[in-house]
């Protein structure tokens, strides 16, 4: 009670309300504290704040790996050119299935170019029932070219990733909508020549990145292990002339051993001697090694050969 009274004596609240500027004296320390707080926060987080051109949690797209499946390569089946000329029912049915899943959205159920996905496109997806106005053309070789390269500027994508047999099946199906120009032997011959259809295509094996990385690191691990083993031998060896010479002449023992493992191993003694004396630093030796005799270098060589075997 007493202190409150005292406070009221000291601070004249009434007066303060009348003259609000005087409040500043009380608010001022609070502002100072807040400012200092902000300042400390800013300095502590400076690295984050100054780097804040990107959201902190945005994924680093350079690091995103798209994994491929482990797949045995081989030769995609060659195309029987006779089937293209006289497509079987099954071939056309396969074409219809592929058309429905890949092309129908733009070119429409019956190839009228009225698919919903194509509604906004200009030019409109080709109406396969019309005869005129095709960009590439409606002969089989031109249609195949369209699927191979697309007509990108007009919104027609390339379908080069579909196996050539599948593309041929789709074309055979499209050709059932209306009467198309008959297939000429020259067209087939030129198609075959350009795209090697009757030979089939070689598809390389693919292995997932993770597997490849593991393989590499295993191999790398084996090499590292070999180097460290060889180093231990070297350190432990006593009174071996080769080992002593290496200890004396090596600038970088790791490099001596690793360059030996990675290639020198398969050289003859003479080649080893001339390579090392010509460019000692390259192989981890001190320049003085150039003055070593042939015998000394042979000792080094044979010692390295035994410890890296
Ligand atoms: C995203 C929509 C879209 C899809 C999906 C699409 N097309 Fe097209 N297609 C177009 C457009 C747009 C054109 C018209 C291009 C032009 O006139 O140059 C076109 C044109 C064509 C032409 C005629 C080329 C010419 O010479 O004028 C053929 C043939 C064709 N498409 C086949 C296909 C086949 C087969 C598929 C499925 C594997 C397919 N398209 C899927 C949009 C599409």
Question: Does the CB atom of residue 118 touch ligand 1 within 6 A?
Answer: yes
pLDDT on residue 266: 83
Dist CA 193 CA 68 (whole Å) = 31
Q: How many Å is the maximal CA-CA distance in the chain?
A: 115
Dist CA 289 CA 101 (whole Å) = 71
Question: Does the CB atom of residue 105 touch ligand 1 within 6 A?
Answer: yes
> What residues in the chain have per-residue pLDDT under 50?
1
Quick one: which of 165, 148, 164 has its CA closest to 156? Answer: 148
pLDDT tens digits, 230-281:
888 888 888 889 999 999 999 998 889 988 988 888 888 999 999 999 889 9
pLDDT on residue 46: 76
* Cβ–Cβ under 8 Å, residues 276 and 289: yes
Question: Does the CB atom of residue 107 touch ligand 1 within 6 A?
Answer: yes
pLDDT on residue 206: 73
* 109 alpha carbon – ligand 1 mean position (Å): 14
Residue linked to tokens 């029932």: 129
59-69 burial code (b ≥16 CB/10 A, e <16):
eeeeeeeeeee
pTM score: 0.51
pLDDT on residue 146: 95
pLDDT on residue 57: 60
- The alpha carbon of residue 90 and the mean position of all alpha carbons in its chain are separated, in whole angstroms, by 39
Dist CA 215 CA 250 (whole Å) = 31
Question: Does the CB atom of residue 154 touch ligand 1 within 6 A?
Answer: yes
- The residue whose CA is least distant from atom 20 of ligand 1 is 126
Question: Does the CB atom of residue 139 touch ligand 1 within 6 A?
Answer: no
Question: Does the CB atom of residue 143 touch ligand 1 within 6 A?
Answer: yes
- The alpha carbon of residue 251 and the mean position of all alpha carbons in its chain are separated, in whole angstroms, by 38
91-129 burial code (b ≥16 CB/10 A, e <16):
bbebbbebbeebbbebbbeebbbebeebeeeeebbbbbe
Atom of ligand 1 nearest to the CA of 155: 12
pLDDT on residue 295: 92
């Amino acid at each position: 009670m007493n202190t409150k009274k005292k406070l009221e004596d000291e601070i004249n609240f009434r007066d303060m309300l009348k003259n609000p500027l005087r409040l500043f004296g009380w608010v001022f320390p609070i502002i100072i504290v807040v400012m200092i707080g902000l300042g400390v926060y800013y300095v502590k987080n400076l690295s984050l704040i100054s780097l804040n051109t990107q959201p902190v949690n945005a994924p680093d797209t350079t690091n995103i790996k798209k994994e491929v499946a482990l797949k045995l390569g081989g030769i995609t089946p060659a195309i029987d050119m006779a089937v293209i000329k006289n497509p079987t029912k099954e071939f056309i049915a396969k074409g219809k299935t592929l058309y429905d899943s890949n092309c129908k959205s733009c070119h429409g159920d019956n190839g009228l170019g009225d698919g919903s996905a194509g509604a906004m496109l200009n030019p409109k997806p080709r109406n396969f029932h019309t005869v005129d106005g095709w960009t590439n053309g409606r002969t089989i070789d031109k249609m195949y070219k369209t699927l191979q390269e697309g007509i990108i500027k007009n919104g027609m994508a390339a379908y080069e990733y579909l196996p050539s047999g599948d593309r041929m099946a789709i074309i055979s199906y499209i050709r059932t909508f209306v009467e198309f120009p008959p297939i000429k032997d020259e067209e087939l011959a030129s198609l075959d020549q350009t795209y090697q259809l009757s030979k089939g295509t070689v598809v390389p094996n693919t292995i997932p990145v993770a597997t490849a990385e593991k393989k590499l690191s295993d191999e790398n691990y084996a090499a590292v292990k070999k180097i460290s083993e060889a180093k231990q031998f070297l350190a432990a060896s006593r009174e071996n002339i080769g080992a002593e010479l290496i200890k004396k002449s090596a600038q970088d023992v790791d490099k001596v051993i690793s360059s030996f493992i990675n290639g020198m191993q398969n050289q003859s003694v003479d080649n080893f001697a001339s390579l090392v004396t010509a460019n000692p630093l390259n192989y981890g030796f001190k320049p003085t090694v150039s003055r070593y005799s042939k015998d000394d270098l042979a000792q080094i060589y044979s010692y390295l050969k035994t410890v890296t075997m």
